[in-house]
Structures are given as C-alpha cells and as structure tokens.
Chain A
Amino acid sequence: MANPMEQFSVETIKPLTLAGYDVSFTNSSLWMLIAIAAISVFLFVGTAKPQLVPGRWQAATEYLYDFVRKMLDENVGPEGRRFAPLIFSIFIFVLACNLLGLIPWIGAFTPTSHVTVTFGLAMIVFVTVCVVGIWRHGFHFLSLFWPHDANIFLGAFVFVIEFLSFLTRPFTLAIRLFANMTAGHVLLKVFGTFVVALGSFGALPYVFGILPLAVNVALTALEILIAVVQAYVFALLASLYLNDAINLH
C-alpha cells in the first residue's frame, strides 16, 4: 500500500550543485517548469494580437488580469496598479501549481504542497513589502506598527506585538498554502487507498469501493475549489500587505 506521504517526496532527476549548494533538478523543479510552460502558453496565445474586441483566449487572460487589477484597486488604490504584474505572477503561479498537481495518473507533483516553495513565494511578497515600504516612507515605515493615539507604554507594547505579527506574515502565508495543499492531497490519497482496500473485499468485489470512490470524486471537486481559493487568498493577502507598505494604514 502506497504511503499517502509518498506523493510529496522530492525525487532527484539530475543532480546539480552550485557553489556547494545542492540545486538538483527534481520532480518539483520539473512541475514548476511545467506550470511556467502552461502559463506562458496561456499568456502568449492570449496576448498574441490584443484587440479591442477580444477573442476567447484574450478574454480569458483579460479576465484573470482584470481580476488581479480590480483586487489591487480595491485593496491598495491607484498606486497598486504598478504591482499588478507581480501579484498576477504570484497568483497564476500558485494557481497553476495547485491545479496541475491535482491531475491524477501522470504522477503530478504539487510544488505548492512544499513549505519550502510556499515560503519562497511568501518571501518574495515579504521582501517586496519591506523594500516598497522603506523606499517610500524610509524610517517612517515603522509607524505602521505604532497605534494611533495611544500613550507611550501601551504604544510600545502594541508596537512589539505588531512588529512580531509583521515578521510572522511570511510564515503564516507559507504555512496556510502548504497545509491546505498537503491536507487535500493526503485526503485524496487516503480515500484512494480505501477504494482499493474495500473494493478488493473477496466475497463481494468492487461494491464497497464505490462509496470511497464517490467521496474521492467529490473531494476532487472540493480540491479544485481549494486550489483556486488558496491562490486567491495568497494574492489577496499579498495585496493587503502591499497596501500596508504603500499607504501605512
């Protein structure tokens, strides 16, 4: 019986090292590149000949881009438009990894089920937020953590809490996505093993496997939903953090 954790194991395809670090090409790298390939097909076809009256591909790409732009308009304001390409990249990368990882049979790997990958993405957001905040506001960026109209002691207390919560942002962002993806995939695999185990009941074969199979079908639908929702949540939180950096409350 396959271990439900086996699907997360990173298999080295081509061992590589760079300056003493292990940077081997793995199945995780492969699926990131597959995600990039899928995204580039989607985007390059969709924007090959942009027209005022869009075709189907263009309408699909515009739909996603407009979604990100609106999210930034609502949560950041007019200044947020400049970050639309970055937030869009994060959103579509997470979305593509989440969705491609759900494909059964072909041994798909979900890079976003690895906390390393989600942490890397979260750090992109975190570093961007810090750089933008300091570049725009300089030392004044620290006032983000200072409560309005509070006395010095309460203010200092809140400042510490706010600062720590700011520092934990990349971790919560990373762990939320990683945990959602991992839990979903484990659940799918567990019910998959139920299908096999119950379906091979000797006296009455197949019959008892139907129920866990039905559950798995429903779970797959739920996982697709979660794949989209988590990509959205990641992008939404990224834009909210950007809003902090740009507008300081």
Chain B
Amino acid sequence: MPQFDFAHVFWPQLAWLAISFALLYFGVVRLTLPKLGKVMDARDNKIAGDIAEAKAAKANADAIDARYHADMAMSRDEARNAIALAKAAAAKSTEARLAVAAQQAEAEIAAAEARIAEAVTKAEGTLRDAAAESAADIVAKLTGKQPKPDAAQAAVAALV
C-alpha cells in the first residue's frame, strides 16, 4: 500500500497538510465564520426579542380583553338594576295613579248614587202626590165629596 511507504509520503503530506490547514483556519475560516456567527446570534436575539414582544403584546391584549369583559358585565348589571328600578318606580306610580283614579271613581259613584237616591226619593214623592191626587179625584168622583188631602196622602203611604 502506498499509504505505508512513509519514506515517500510522510513529510511531504504532513508539511502540506500543515500549510493547507493553516491556510484554511487562519485565511478562510477565521475571516468568514465570525461574521456568520454574529449574524446568526443577531438573528437568534431578534427572534427571541420578537417573540418576547409578541408575548407582551398578547398579555396586554388579554388584559384589555379581560377589562373589556369586566366592564361589559358591570354595565350589564348596572343596566339591569336601572331597569328593575324603573320597573319598580313605574309600578309604584301606576298603583298610585290607579288608587287616585279608584278613589275618584268611588267618589263619583257615591255622588251618582246619592243623586240617584235623591231622584228616586223625589220621584217617589211626586208619584205619591200624583197617586194621592188621583185617589182624591177618584174619591171625589165616586163620592162627590172632596177628601182631605192628608187622608189621601196617608192612604197612599199605607199602600206603598
């Protein structure tokens, strides 16, 4: 195997390996990779920063959302309370007005009843007078004698 012919392959290859590797390490890799590493680190940092920023923004948005929901719930409760209050107030005022109206109506009914009673009494009085008159007339015609008005009245009162 030529590989083990060290008299011929050892020093030339080792010397040129040293030259090549030195060239590679100091002339190529050392000049290029640090630049690349810097960019890669910058990218990693940027991505990490962006993710942190996005997380912060999300947390902020979540907080705003929670506040919004809380506000909404509070407003809803307030509205519900206001509606209940308004309902209660309305019910109360309706009741009061109904009570006033009922009182008025009762008063009117009472007045009307009084008037009716009065009318009835008056009508009864008139009727009785008319009846007494008729009875007196009838008695006068039958007997030719005018009865006393009081007697006719008394007779009608006794009958009705």
| B9 contacts partner chain A, Cβ-Cβ < 8 Å | yes
Contact B13 A28 (CB under 8 A): yes
B11 to chain A, nearest CB (A): 5
Give which listed residue, B2, B20, B27, B29, contacts A9 with CB less than 8 A.
B2
Contact B20 A10 (CB under 8 A): no
Interface majority SS (helix, strand, loop, mixed), chain B:
helix
Per-residue A-contact encoding for B39-79, CB less than 8 Å = 1, 0 else: 11011001000000000000000000000000000000000
| B37 contacts partner chain A, Cβ-Cβ < 8 Å | yes
Q: How far is the CA of A26 from the CA of B28 in the complex (A)?
A: 22
**B:84-121 near A, CB below 8 Å:** none
Give which listed residue, B11, B16, B29, B36, contacts A50 with CB less than 8 A.
B36
Q: How far is the CA of A122 from the CA of B115 in the complex (A)?
A: 134
Q: A22-B11, A89-B24, A89-B25 are in contact. Are A111 and B36 (CB under 8 A)?
A: no
Interface majority SS (helix, strand, loop, mixed), chain A:
helix
Closest Cβ neighbor of B36 among chain A residues: A47
Give which listed residue, A9, A44, A85, A113, contacts B30 with CB less than 8 A.
A85
Contact A120 B39 (CB under 8 A): no
Per-residue B-contact encoding for A33-56, CB less than 8 Å = 1, 0 else: 101100110011011001110100
| Chain B residues near A84 (CB-CB < 8 A) | 33, 37
Q: How far is the CA of A23 from the CA of B12 in the complex (A)?
A: 4
Contact B3 A116 (CB under 8 A): yes
| A25 contacts partner chain B, Cβ-Cβ < 8 Å | yes
Contact B9 A32 (CB under 8 A): no
Contact A36 B12 (CB under 8 A): no
| B15 contacts partner chain A, Cβ-Cβ < 8 Å | yes
How many cross-chain pairs have Cβ atoms below 8 Å apart between A and B? 137
Contact B29 A29 (CB under 8 A): no
Give which listed residue, B4, B19, B35, contacts A47 with CB less than 8 A.
B35
Q: How far is the CA of A70 from the CA of B140 in the complex (A)?
A: 147
Q: Which one of B33, B38, B40 has the greatest number of beta carbons of chain A within 10 Å?
A: B33
Q: A84-B33, A88-B33 are in contact. Are A50 and B3 (CB under 8 A)?
A: no
Contact B3 A66 (CB under 8 A): no
| Chain B residues near A46 (CB-CB < 8 A) | 32, 36
Q: A21-B11, A23-B15, A43-B28 are in contact. Are A116 and B2 (CB under 8 A)?
A: no
| Chain A residues near B46 (CB-CB < 8 A) | 52
Closest Cβ neighbor of A34 among chain B residues: B20
Q: Which one of B11, B25, B32 has the greatest number of beta carbons of chain A within 10 Å?
A: B32
Contact B39 A43 (CB under 8 A): no
Contact A58 B4 (CB under 8 A): no
| Chain A residues near B141 (CB-CB < 8 A) | none
| B18 contacts partner chain A, Cβ-Cβ < 8 Å | yes
Contact B33 A117 (CB under 8 A): no
| Chain B residues near A92 (CB-CB < 8 A) | 24, 29
Q: How far is the CA of A40 from the CA of B112 in the complex (A)?
A: 122
Other than the known A12-B12, A25-B16, A61-B36, what 4 A-B pairs have Cβ atoms closer than 8 Å? Answer: A10-B9, A40-B28, A47-B32, A47-B33
